[in-house]
Structure 1
Amino acid sequence: MTSMELKTALEEGRGISVSCNTIDRACAQADYTCKQLTRSALEANDQLKAAFVATVGNGEYTARQFIFVDETRINRITPCRHIGRSVLGSRACRRDYFVRGKSYSGIAAISLDGIRHFDAVPGAANGQLFNIFIENLLDTMNPWPQDNSVLVMDNASIHKTRGIRELVEARGCRLLYLPPYSPELNPIEEAFSTIKAHIRRRRNEVLAAMEASDAAFYDILWDIVFSVTPQMAAGCLDGPDDLRTYGEEGYVCIV
């Protein structure tokens, strides 16, 4: 809520009239600060989340067995920053692209070893391309219950193409699907945030490569993606303080 919304709520609910400045000071004294919201889906099913927690937390799994897979989209808007600096009282302005232009889909797999496998294609990824990605990823995996033997992914339609489970299990590996609308349970989202931060940092190089050719863009994209180290990957799996995800002893809890 904004200060004005809090002011209105106090007046209508408690009959108390104070200024917005007073509300701001009271919030600061109580250690309340403005921050970007962490959003969770209303469509998410808590029972399915609990079932997933029970499955992964049954003592069979450890963090080193998991490999997390997902896709992300990249286009000319991706390198754009949303925060800048300017002289007090003036706007922070920058000329940037408003049209996304050509888009790319990046498919990645991450474990405690870092980026296990990565591929990118122009446009949107489809089931056929995803199956090829999984086949190549499986070449780097081990049979259950060794390290890197369990694939974890969401319920996107291209992740559930015909034969995908048989493909995984034929290699002696396991496949787990996350509950619907639960991106916070996939640590690869943290890795994608890191990758896109690097893309913004190298904005001019990335945009120039996009304009030059697919090959030039792929060169710089691979360099950025594989800059995610095992230490960074471990940080992604630990999660923030209020969301413990996949620890060394397997799934811990969700707060």
Structure 2
Amino acid sequence: MEDFEVDVPTSTISAKLATKLITHKQIRKEPSTCNNDVNKAKRYTFAATFICHQANGDYIVYYDESNFNLFCMRTQRRARVGQRAVGKTPPSKGKNLQLLCDVSVEDGLVLHQLQRGSITMDVNAEFVKSIYATVKASDTYREYFAGKKVVIVLDNAPAHNQVELRLEEVIAEHGDLELLRLGPYSPMLNPIEGWFSVFKAKVKAYLSEHRQRIFSQGSH
């Protein structure tokens, strides 16, 4: 309001904006390349290819990996008025566990693998090969998808680099295996992300509910 030499409190501005349904929110970071023409074209290509596989009745599997930690602590506790609620924690949360997993609409959880340490490209390629073998051997595929393709949807994480190259012979040998890459900045198109969220919440809840049992086993 400098042009009019008027001093308006920020609270007044905030109240006025609220009447216009404009509220103060936390900023959501969005990379400048997220919606450029190249990445939008890649997402369009993925969507078009995916819809084509659905129309053909192919067996679609959603694959990804995630790390999680068994460390648990409360986020809230009681304290006297005027005092902080302080919780003592160890200096380290411990090592992360790596979970490779894939799901499908037809069978739910198809295959999973738990390991410590980072996931290498070789480990990733072998797991993708195991996904294909597991799906082909399943009763669901044999009964309802015989002769159809096995489409494995995966993102562009570093561990997934060169997976097509490392499985070149397998893909050439089995014409019904296809790897479908997600478009850039579109993890929401892979439903396994929601599965990981539910899984981690269940693990944390189990550890919290059975902590005395865990402590008892650790003393032996």
TM-score range, shorter chain: 0.5 to 0.7
TM-score under structure 1 length normalisation: 0.59
Give the match for residue 96 of structure 1.
Answer: 89
- In the alignment of these two chains, the number of paired residues is 198
Give the match for residue 166 of structure 2.
Answer: 163
Q: CA deviation at 1:177?
A: 1.0
TM-score under structure 2 length normalisation: 0.67
**Residues 1:128 and 2:136 aligned together:** no
Unaligned runs of 5+ in 1: 1-10, 214-255
Q: CA deviation at 1:122?
A: 0.6
Q: CA RMSD in A?
A: 4.0
- Measured against aligned partners, the alpha-carbon deviations of 1:19-76 in whole angstroms (never above 9, x if no partner) come to 444455445545556666655444442222222223223x442597321111111125
Question: Secondary structure in 1 aligned to 2:94?
Answer: coil
Which 10-residue stretch deviates more, 167-176 or 16-25?
A: 16-25
Contact 1:165/1:175 (CA < 8 Å) preserved in 2? no
Unaligned runs of 5+ in 2: none
Contact 1:111/1:148 (CA < 8 Å) preserved in 2? no
Write out aligned runs for 1:48-197 (5 A): 48-57=42-51, 59-61=52-54, 65-76=59-70, 79-80=72-73, 84=76, 91-97=84-90, 99-112=92-105, 113-142=107-136, 146=145, 149-159=150-160, 160-161=162-163, 162-168=165-171, 170-171=173-174, 172-197=176-201
Contact 1:80/1:203 (CA < 8 Å) preserved in 2? no
Q: CA deviation at 1:105?
A: 0.7
Which 10-residue stretch deviates more, 26-35 or 159-168?
A: 26-35
